[in-house]
Structure 1
Amino acid sequence: MDAFKLMKELRMNYEQEVYYLPKETGLSLIESTAQDDSRISAKCRDAKAEDLWSLTSFFGYSTQTFVLAVNLLDRFLAMMRIQQKHLSCVSLSCLHMAAKVTEEECNLTPTDELIRIGQCRFTVSDLGRMEKIITEKLNFKSKAITALTFLHLYHQITLSHSTARKETLSLEKLEAQLKACLCRISFSKAKPSVLAFSLLRQEIEAIQSEDMLEIAYHIQRHLKIADSELLLWSGRVAQCLSDYASPECSKPNHRKLQWIVSRRTAQNLHSYRSIPELPTIPEGCWDESESEDSCEDVMSSGEESLSSSLGSDAEGPFFPLHLRRQKHGQHLLA
């Protein structure tokens, strides 16, 4: 896409982003709710956002699915005052709705599996009814303009104009940092265009590219983003990522997700292992010991895959370098 079309699309999304924002009054009510209240508090909401992050990673869904799910969740919670006991159904419905929009049909997780892996106590019918309610309340059709929308456009525009090496500005890193921010309800009050631009500016400053900084300045002028607004959210983004890189920070717990196997299924799996004799396996295929352990692998594969499903976002090169070095130094001293 040429530069003119990119800037035109950027402006169009900027003008329409207001229609996909959660109501600020509703978000403020959530933030002011006490944790021991039966209504949704900020801590409850943030915990569910982290659960959505874990589930999208576990099922191999895209960042787009996670961001859209959080957008739907925030917009619904800011509009409807619901009780904590209904929050799991609402959040999982938002994830399922988002996945149906952004993922290939062949990659969609069956609804009953989604409920089981999410360890929820409602039925497929309950999920369907909740999706219908959310769709009607939000007038949801097939899209939403989110911070990820702008992050992708900013990234494309910056690389299309920059003479620096393209791999220095990592979209994967920017997406990981956006996901960390969206796990805090305070960032739901930011305009998506400003939140994404704050992330972009911080990363460009980190890689010290004068060329890209000039491009970012032109983007800011084109969208008329005020310096004061940018300064406010840039500071909050920097603090969030600094906190998130800290070992004391609570991160999405993918270990809470486990395969739930019924007693009958477990007995069947166990009986397969106790077959007295197996046909001879030709040379070049699995050996005998592998075939004997195959059912055990099936039983444990869910937990093993979960152990590696997250961590790349929270660890690795996606968060402030000096904090990761500090953490490494503390580990060596210990």
Structure 2
Amino acid sequence: MDAFKLMKELRMNYEQEVQYLPKETGLSLIESTMQDDSRISAKCRDAKVEDLWSLTSFFGYSTQTFVLAVNLLDRFLAMMRIQPKHLSCVSLSCLHMAAKVTEEECNVTSTDELIRIGQCRFSVSDLGRMEKIVAEKLNFKSKAITALTFLHLYHQIALSHSTDRKETLSLEKLEAQLKACLCRISFSKAKPSVLALSLLMQEIESVQSGDMLEIAYHIQRHLKIADGELLLWSERVALCLSDYASPECSKPNHRKLQWIVSRRTAQNLHSYRSVPELPTIPEGCWDESESEDSCEDVMSSGEESLSSSLGSDAEGPFFPLHLRRQKHRQHFHA
């Protein structure tokens, strides 16, 4: 695709991205929820996104699947009020919906296998009902404009100006860093176009390329992104990646998800488990001031977390230890 068509597609996606943003009021309510509350907290949501990263890696799904699943999850959580014990069903529904859109049909994991590997305690029919609820509430059909959409376009635009930048500007590295950011709910408030450009500029800063910086500036001017907005999210991205690179951060294993389970757990994972049919799920929205929860007891709580073993791109060269917490240089003010 030539540069003109790329810039035209970029502008079109920029104008439509607002349609796929989670409601900021709903995200703020999640952030203000205490961990011991009966509502979803930011920590609870972030842990579940890390679980999605684990499962994405385990099943060999693409970054596109993961990013779309997180987008669906955030949009649904920002709209509906659900209890923490129902979050596993919602998140796996989003992952399965995303996989059916982005992966080859032969590579999409069955719902039964998804539930068993995810060590969840609800039935296939529960998952199917939840998928219908999520699809209906989000009016989901086949796509969403996400930060990954812009990251790919920015990368193509940069490469269209010079083919010798392929090794310096690694799309794989940028995708890994995007996934790390999406594990924090605060980045769900960023416009996808701005978050992607912030990641691009972070990488340009690390390779110290003046001409690539000019390309980034050209993109910023084309989309009319304000300097202040870009600087704000660039600083937050730098801080996130710095935290992620620190030894104190609980990072996932560099290898793909590995299961270390007891004999009893292994038997549960590899044997068919019959889960009784459960009642229909009532619904309620965030904007209903005193509404009941959107779900009754459709599954048991207490699913184990997978976040101790995420994807293989979650550490190593994509998150170098030399990253420091510092304000971006003056070129972000230009």
In the TM superposition, residue 205 of structure 1 has moved relative to its aligned partner by 1.4
- Cα contact 1:58–1:306 (8 A) shared by 2: no
1:314 to 1:15, Cα distance in 2 relative to 1, 3 A: same
Cα contact 2:70–2:94 (8 A) shared by 1: yes
Cα distance in 2, alignment partners of residues 302 and 44 from structure 1: 12
Gaps of 5+ in 2: none
SS at match of 2:326: helix
Classify the secondary structure of the residue corresponding to 2:195.
helix
Where 1:293 maps in the other structure, the secondary structure is coil
Contact 1:151 1:196 in 2 (8 A): yes
Between the aligned partners of 1:255 and 1:230, the Cα distance in structure 2 is 34
Quote the residue 1:125 is aligned against. 125
1:20 aligns with 2:20: yes
Give the C-alpha shift of residue 209 in structure 1. 1.1
1:211: which partner in 2? 211
Q: How many Å separate the matches in 1 of 2:257 and 2:128?
A: 22
Contact 1:58 1:309 in 2 (8 A): no
Give secondary structure in 1 for the equivalent of 2:5: helix
Instruction: Tell me the alpha carbon deviations over residues 115-167 of structure 1, each in whole angstroms, 9 at most, x when there is no partner.
Output: 00101000000000000000000000000000000000000001111364321
Shift of 1:320: 3.2
What's the CA shift for 1:330? 32
Kindly indicate whether the alpha-carbon contact (under 8 Å) linking 1:26 and 1:79 is maintained by their aligned counterparts in 2: yes
Number of paired residues?
A: 334
After TM superposition, give the deviation of residue 247 of structure 1 in Å.
1.7
Give the CA deviation at 1:38: 1.1
Residue in structure 2 matched with residue 77 of structure 1 by the alignment: 77
CA distance in 2 between partners of 1:11 and 1:311 (Å): 32
Indicate the structure (1 or 2) with the bigger Cα radius of gyration: 1
| CA gap 1:228/1:129 in 2 versus in 1, 3 angstroms | same
Retained in 2: the 8 A contact 1:272–1:295?
A: no
Deviations along 1:93-130, one digit per CA (max 9) or x if unpaired, are 00000000000011111110100010100000000000
**Using CA pairs below 8 Å that are at least 6 residues apart, which structure has the higher relative contact order?**
2
CA, structure 1 residues 268+227, in 2 after alignment: closer, same or farther (shift >3 Å)?
A: closer
The correspondence of residues 163-312 of structure 1 with structure 2, limited to 5 A, is: 164-252=164-252, 310=310, 312=312
Residues 280-332 of structure 1, C-alpha deviations (whole Å, 9 max, x = no match): 99999999999999999999999999999856423221013515999999999
Residues 11 and 119 from structure 1, CA distance in 2 versus in 1: closer, same or farther, beyond 3 angstroms?
same
Give the Å deviation of 1:211.
1.3
Contact 2:122/2:275 (8 A) holds in 1: no
Distance 1:307 1:183, change over 3 A: closer
After superposition, give the CA deviation of every residue in 1:163-220 in whole Å (9 maximum; x if it has no partner): 6432110000000000000000000000000000000011011111111111111000
Please report the RMSD computed on the Cα atoms of aligned residues, expressed in angstroms: 14.6
Distance 1:25 1:275 in 2: 36
From the superposition, tell whether residues 257 and 303 of structure 1 become closer, same or farther in structure 2 (CA, over 3 Å).
farther
User: TM-score scaled by structure 1?
Assistant: 0.81
Give the Cα separation in 2 of the matches to 1:286 and 1:227. 33
For the Cα contact (< 8 Å) 1:244–1:251, is it kept in 2?
Answer: yes
TM-score normalised over the length of structure 2: 0.81
Instruction: Measure, in 1, the Cα distance between the counterparts of 2:20 and 2:293.
Output: 51
Moved more, 304-313 or 211-220: 304-313
Shift of 1:33: 0.3
Asked whether the equivalents of residues 51 and 252 of structure 1 are also in contact (C-alpha less than 8 Å), the reply is no
Q: 1:50 to 1:253 in 2, by over 3 A?
A: farther
Structure 1 spans left out of the alignment, 5+ residues: none
- The alignment partner of 1:327 has SS state of coil
Paired with 1:279 and 1:34, the residues of 2 have a C-alpha distance of: 29
Assess if the C-alpha contact under 8 Å between 2:194 and 2:233 holds in 1: yes
